[in-house]
Amino acid sequence: MVETVEATDRREVQTIDNLHFVMGQGSGLQGYETVVVREDGACSFLVKSYSMTPPQWRHVEFTVPSSTVADLKEHLLKLQFDSWKESYHARVDDGGQWFVKVRGKDITKSSYFNNHFPAAVIDLSAFVRDRILTTEVLELEGKEVSDYLAFWYEVTDGGIDYSNEKTGVSEDD
């Protein structure tokens, strides 16, 4: 059985203007590797470098073509991101957490995934990995981040909003 919030009314978003996209994967304990994509193609990637001992957080800035931003918007619409629940929870005390935040001219939507990852968010993760976090991006050295948490709040535009979290039960997601 999976614990979730109730689905919100779908607004049937047709376009996303002035995109600010954030996706993080990791955990509240270990931190979130986080990618940010903006309308103009400017991107940030906060990544943990395991080539150092202890592991260090690095920040990489890069740009993607406007066609990639357009494809990301189209992909979000295809996945009906605006109908995703605010949070998805498995009854597990350990594991991974992801989050997605999409902000545009006429929409703000965030979803939190706690050890429960519906097919749509797995699909989105694959898109981000294949089209945005390319091998070339992953090979960039980036800059060391001395205060991970402060920097993370800055790049994610305030972190994860739990203020509207509700609890329900569903097995169909």
At 159 the pLDDT is 55
Residue 162 lies in a domain: no
From CA 155, how far away is CA 44, in angstroms rounded? 8
Q: What is the tally of structural domains in the chain?
A: 1
Residues 6+ apart with CB under 8 A from 166: 5, 6, 86
Question: Which residues lie across from 28 on neighbouring strands?
Answer: none
At 24 the pLDDT is 94
Residue 38 lies in a domain: yes
At 51 the pLDDT is 73
Residue 104 lies in a domain: yes
- Count Cβ atoms below 10 Å from residue 122 Cβ, excluding itself: 12
Residue 105 lies in a domain: yes
Residue 172 lies in a domain: no
Residue 21 lies in a domain: yes
Residue 166 lies in a domain: no
Range of the domain at 20: 2-156
Question: What is the residue-level pLDDT of the chain in tens, covering all 173 positions?
Answer: 333 334 444 456 688 999 999 999 998 778 899 999 999 999 999 998 877 777 789 999 999 999 999 999 999 999 999 999 999 988 877 788 999 999 998 888 999 999 889 999 999 999 999 999 999 999 998 899 988 888 888 877 665 554 433 333 333 44
Task: Look up the CATH number of the domain holding residue 7.
Answer: 3.30.1560
Residue 20 lies in a domain: yes
